[in-house]
Amino acid sequence: MRYISTRGQSPALSFSDILLGGLAPDGGLYLPESYPQIGRAELDAWRHLGYAELAFEILSRFIDDIPAEDLRALCERTYTPAVYCHTRAGDDAADITPVKWLEPGRLALLELSNGPTLAFKDMAMQLLGNLFEYVLDKRNDSINILGATSGDTGSAAEYAMRGKHGVQVFMLSPHGRMSAFQRAQMYSLQDDNIHNIAVTGMFDDAQDIVKAVSNDHAFKARYKIGAVNSINWGRVAAQVVYYFKGYFAATESNDQQIAFAVPSGNFGNICAGHIARMMGLPVAKLILATNENDVLDEFFRTGIYRPRKTAETHATSSPSMDISKASNFERFVFDLVGRDPEVVRELWASVDAGGAFDLTKTAFWSQIGDFGFVSGSSSHADRLATIRMCDQKYTTVIDTHTADGLKVALEHPQSGVATLVLETALPAKFEETIVEALGRKPERPADLRDIEQLPQRVEVMAADVNAVKAFIVRHLER
């Protein structure tokens, strides 16, 4: 399996090479040359596998430069009850991603937030940490990870990478834009290989810095800069697994179809659903939900992709989705335009120059229905109402992002097809809004009850690429 850039001007590479590299040298994102096709025989064989076994079966279709026995061992070490089932008493210890039915046979939550940072990002990031350590040890190498987070990626990456051999993490976050719990999860880590930088701006400003550093090829090579954001293909590949696992848990046979509702800011999570569908998973619909930052919803409604500037990006009560430049969206567009890198380069030349593109003026827009997407958006008032409704009707408390997903899911029912809403995080991470909605605090795992009181370590600086580079150099050369 070789990996190519969406912009077509970088050489095809192995999985291990792109795992460590992040963005392609031409500024594009890596995808496999073709998606492995999964037929009825595989679906039948996989239906009753445990999570680690299923992860191995799926990931082995994407990874052929790690020996099978080693990849299996990495999956078994990653997906264990000790890592993913410590937050909820009473769950089947073997069930890493349980399905919670709200309306049996019709509507359910796919629980993805039982990992160490209480967010779905743990599902892929814990594996990525083990893969990084494995590949670096084999190559006797090291890496310095530069990432940006709007809330959950940062803590998931840091918890996955803390103490790993040969890994330093430099994580950018928007100063004052995350919840108090999210900040505490990241900034309270005192590990020597973890470095937090809060930039005065929005997530997109932080993401732009990461891309600028990645596109400075001399700096990237000298300081061995890698990525763990969802621009890293390893993240997306690992997320494909829980779409299959959710499908098996929510259906009785492989003749059934299913819909997935996915809160989406950077398009990484739902991109994994798109890939699962392209591989052959019987997905009837992919329901994309945004908050007030509705760039993606606007595209699927109108065909226009128009990233917003920082001043136009809203700070909301579902802050992990306060994104107006969806990095992973380029992967989907690559498939939409028939995997023509010349078209992608032309489209993103407009985006990278601060503009937009309109696919309704092309023949490609007529194919959009073939990919199964529908979309919608949610407001703060919608989130409060959905959290209250879910608590009252289903005796289930959900976080603000999952509320966005549930709200939009209910707007797109399909007769005879169950909908799985992908849980984004546990409500404890967004306590202020849960109190506003329900008048009470959500439950917390015992080991995280006083996390905001821990000492925090973070450097605040302007959203300036040279300042961030200087910070990296200072810490690597001391």
Active site (catalytic) residues: 121
- Neighbour order of strands in the sheet with 167-174: 225-226, 143-148, 167-174, 194-200, 459-462
Q: Residue 426 to residues 116, 120, 242, 320: CA-CA distances in angstroms? A: 11, 9, 17, 13
**Neighbour count for residue 353 (Cβ, 10 Å):** 8
- What does the alpha-carbon distance between residue 166 and residue 68 come to, in Å, rounded to a whole number? 24
- What does the alpha-carbon distance between residue 411 and residue 432 come to, in Å, rounded to a whole number? 27
- The residue whose two tokens read 């994102």 is 29
| Helix/strand/coil (H/E/C) assignment for every residue in 198-234 | EEECCHHHHHHHHHHHHHCHHHHHHCCEECCCCCCHH
Q: Is 143 helix (H, G, I), strand (E, B) or coil?
A: strand
Instruction: Please give the sequence-ordered ranges of beta strands (E in DSSP) within 299-384, or none if there are none.
Output: 304-305, 357-358, 373-377
- What does the alpha-carbon distance between residue 18 and residue 31 come to, in Å, rounded to a whole number? 10
Which tokens is 298 given? 């606007």
- What does the alpha-carbon distance between residue 478 and residue 465 come to, in Å, rounded to a whole number? 20
Bridge-based pairing of strands 225-226 and 143-148 is parallel
